[in-house]
């Protein structure tokens, strides 16, 4: 069983790796040549390891310090802002690199959750179709295409659970559904 200090160190390292990974994932969208499947897969594997270790080391350090208030329960996927405030007392703030854009950005075109109500843009009548990027209420960065990824024959769009798409700055990085990385293709 890890000591409380080393569990905290591991926890902090896991958080840092998660933060670095998110910024890499975000940066890779602007790469020439498009998203690289191999790189995205490796990034998501690292993030998964880091997330798992983050969770298990959070539980370890919680187990060691029983005297701490219940508000510092390890975050779960349905965390509310209240939990985060509690946890931040015990652990250093995660250094999220540009969390706001990463959180707000709706991750189109691969996130179908917010666009279930939007029609398949590919099959709009010519009059309505426009090659210009559409403005979006939640600021999509300029360089991202607004069309959804073209499906291959036989593929289906899978509805994502609504909770997993948005990562607010205060929430745990672990909320990110890592599987979302891959369906871009």
Partner 1 sequence: ISGAVQGAGGDMQWCLSQAKGSLDDDVTEADIISTLEFNHTGELLATGDKGGRIVIFQQEIENKRQPQYRSEYNVYSTFQSHEPEFDYLKSLEIEEKINKIRWIPQKNAAHFLLSTNDKTIKLWKISERDKRPEGYNLKEEDGRYRDPSTVTSLRVPVFRPMDLMVEASPRKVFANAHTYHINSVSVNSDNETYLSADDLRINLWHLEITDRSFNIVDIKPANMEELTEVITAAEFHPHQCNTFVYSSSKGTIRMCDMRASALCDKHSKMFEEPEDPSNRSFFSEIISSISDVKFSHSGRYMMTRDYLSVKIWDLNMESKPVETYQVHEYLRSKLCSLYENDCIFDKFECCWNGNDSMVMTGSYNNFFRMFDRDHRWDVTLEASRENSKPFQVIKPRKVCAGGKRKKDEISVDSLDFNKKILHTAWHPQDSIIVVATTNNLYIFQDKMN
Looking at beta carbons only, is 59 or 157 nearer to partner 1?
A: 157
Least distance to partner 1 from the beta carbon of 108, Å? 12
Least distance to partner 1 from the beta carbon of 165, Å? 14
Looking at beta carbons only, is 77 or 179 nearer to partner 1?
A: 179
Among 146, 162, 25, 166, smallest CA distance to 103 is for 166
Looking at beta carbons only, is 72 or 105 nearer to partner 1?
A: 105
| Distance, CA of 144 to CA of 185 (rounded, Å) | 15
Looking at beta carbons only, is 51 or 166 nearer to partner 1?
A: 51
CA 13 distance to own-chain centroid:
18
| Distance, CA of 170 to CA of 156 (rounded, Å) | 33
Least distance to partner 1 from the beta carbon of 87, Å? 22
| Distance, CA of 67 to CA of 90 (rounded, Å) | 12
Cis peptide leading into residue 109 (ω within 30°): yes
Least distance to partner 1 from the beta carbon of 156, Å? 9
| Distance, CA of 108 to CA of 105 (rounded, Å) | 8
Chain contacts with partner 1 (rule: CB under 8 A) = 13-14, 17, 20, 24, 32-34, 36-39, 41-42, 45-46, 49-50, 53, 145, 147, 149-150, 152, 154, 158, 179, 182-183, 185
Looking at beta carbons only, is 147 or 168 nearer to partner 1?
A: 147
CA 114 distance to own-chain centroid:
15
Least distance to partner 1 from the beta carbon of 39, Å? 6
Among 40, 45, 39, 46, smallest CA distance to 15 is for 46
């Amino acid at each position: 069983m890890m000591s409380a200090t080393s569990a905290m160190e591991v926890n902090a390292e896991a958080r840092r790796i998660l933060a670095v990974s998110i910024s890499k994932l975000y940066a890779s969208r602007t790469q020439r040549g498009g998203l690289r499947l191999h790189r995205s897969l490796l990034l998501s594997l690292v993030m998964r390891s880091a997330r798992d270790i983050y969770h298990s080391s959070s539980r370890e350090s919680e187990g060691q310090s029983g005297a701490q208030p219940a508000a510092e329960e390890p975050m779960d996927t349905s965390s509310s802002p209240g939990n985060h405030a509690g946890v931040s007392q015990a652990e250093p703030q995660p250094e999220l690199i540009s969390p706001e854009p990463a959180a707000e950005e709706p991750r189109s075109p691969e996130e179908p959750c917010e666009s279930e109500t939007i029609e398949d843009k590919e099959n709009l009548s010519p009059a309505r179709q426009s090659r210009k990027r559409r403005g979006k209420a939640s600021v999509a960065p300029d360089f991202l295409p607004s069309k959804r990824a073209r499906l291959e024959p036989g593929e289906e769009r899978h509805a994502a659970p609504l909770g997993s798409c948005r990562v607010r700055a205060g929430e745990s990085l672990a909320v990110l559904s890592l599987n979302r990385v891959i369906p871009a293709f």
